[in-house]
């Protein structure tokens, strides 16, 4: 092998490694959660006074590292499940792109500890929110409930609302009713997001004995629970309007996206095919993004 070929191979190997360590953090999940934090920072700044650019950057980097670190650690915890499921067997650990797997654990812990250092410079309450996210997602969900109870996503999902709560506390240094409602909205969004995915991959989850609700109970009961959480989620999005100082942009966004969410969930309830469940899953992330975008635009204006 000549020198040029050796250099090209080294570059290709380096690129593959970098992409693997990025992929294990689940960047699409990170982007959505960080966006909820950024939106609440903007809203908090509009209500409580402007946020400095340095404060905004520090808080954003902190919550990004925390979400990425928690995801990487959870991938290490779930490496045996990921290797057995069709949906996840191409992830970096089961695919062998991160080997030995413990490197993903070290990588995740490094990211999370870095986030804690930054979070402490923001304020103690924001720091506590970062800790709560790791405890909730890795400790309660991945290590304790995911393989043991159909309540896994209900009790373990509270961590999903903590980035939004972090965004508010990073600006204000305190917890108020409005950010608690916004965080609860995200928590209520998670079952719809995960259960619709579990309906599509029901056989996959059943094979590895992960007791997601659509796996362990009859389809109608699972769909009834899914529809109920969507309705409750939409009601919370309306309640948020009355708890804050909003204009018409947020409430119109909440109503229109809420009607779409309820309509699509009802359609899945009446026609419970895997393909329809997949459509609901694909809609869930844009729903949350549009709702929080509505918050940001409303706050700016």
**CATH classification at residue 181:** 1.20.120
Confidence (pLDDT) at 58: 97
Q: What is the mean pLDDT of residues 205-222?
A: 94
Q: What is the mean pLDDT of residues 46-74?
A: 95
Confidence (pLDDT) at 10: 77
Do 200 and 158 share a structural domain?
no
Cβ distance 124 to 118 under 8 Å?
no
Confidence (pLDDT) at 156: 86
Do 150 and 250 share a structural domain?
no
Give the model confidence (pLDDT) of 274-292 as tens digits: 999 999 999 999 999 999 9
The boundaries of the domain holding residue 5 are 1-173
Do 149 and 90 share a structural domain?
yes
Confidence (pLDDT) at 51: 86
Give the model confidence (pLDDT) of 32-47 as tens digits: 999 999 999 999 999 8
Confidence (pLDDT) at 1: 58
Q: What is the mean pLDDT of residues 100-117?
A: 98
pTM listed for this prediction: 0.95
In the chain, the number of structural domains is: 2
Do 296 and 207 share a structural domain?
yes
Do 91 and 149 share a structural domain?
yes
User: Which of residues 173, 199, 218 is at a domain's end?
Assistant: 173
User: Which of residues 142, 173, 204 is at a domain's end?
Assistant: 173
Do 105 and 78 share a structural domain?
yes
Do 259 and 164 share a structural domain?
no
CA 71/CA 288 separation, integer angstroms: 19
The neighbour count for residue 174, using CB atoms within 10 Å, is 12
Cβ-based burial of 83 (10 A; exposed 0-12, middle 13-18, buried ≥19): middle
Give the model confidence (pLDDT) of 153-171 as tens digits: 998 889 999 999 999 999 9
The CATH number covering residue 4 comes to 1.10.357.140
Do 272 and 186 share a structural domain?
yes
User: Which of residues 132, 156, 173 is at a domain's end?
Assistant: 173
pLDDT at residue 4 is higher than 80: no
């Amino acid at each position: 092998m000549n020198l040029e070929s050796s250099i090209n191979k080294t570059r290709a190997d380096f690129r593959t490694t970098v992409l693997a360590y990025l992929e294990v953090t689940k960047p699409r999940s990170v982007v959505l959660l960080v966006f909820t934090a950024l939106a609440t920072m903007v809203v908090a700044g509009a209500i409580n006074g402007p946020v400095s650019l340095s404060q905004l950057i520090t808080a954003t980097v902190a919550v990004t590292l925390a979400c990425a670190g928690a995801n990487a650690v959870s991938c290490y915890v779930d490496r045996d499940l990921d290797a057995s499921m069709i949906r996840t067997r191409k992830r970096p650990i089961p695919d062998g792109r991160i080997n030995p797997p413990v490197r993903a654990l070290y990588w995740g812990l490094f990211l999370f500890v870095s986030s804690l250092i930054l979070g402490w410079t923001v304020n103690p309450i924001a720091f506590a929110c970062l800790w709560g996210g790791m405890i909730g997602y890795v400790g309660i969900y991945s290590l304790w409930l995911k393989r043991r109870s159909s309540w896994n996503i209900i009790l373990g999902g509270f961590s999903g609302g903590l980035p939004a709560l972090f965004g508010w506390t990073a600006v204000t240094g305190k917890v108020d009713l409005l950010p608690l409602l916004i965080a609860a909205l995200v928590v209520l969004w998670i079952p719809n997001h995960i259960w619709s995915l579990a309906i599509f991959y029901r056989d996959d989850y059943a094979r590895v004995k992960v007791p997601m609700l659509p796996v362990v109970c009859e389809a109608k009961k699972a769909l009834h629970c899914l529809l109920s959480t969507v309705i409750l989620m939409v009601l919370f999005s309306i309640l948020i309007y009355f708890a804050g100082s909003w204009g018409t942009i947020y409430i119109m966004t909440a109503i229109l996206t809420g009607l779409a969410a309820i309509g699509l969930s009802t359609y899945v309830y009446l026609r419970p095919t895997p393909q329809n469940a997949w459509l609901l899953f694909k809609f869930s992330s844009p729903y949350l993004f549009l709702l929080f975008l509505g918050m940001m635009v409303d706050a700016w204006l």
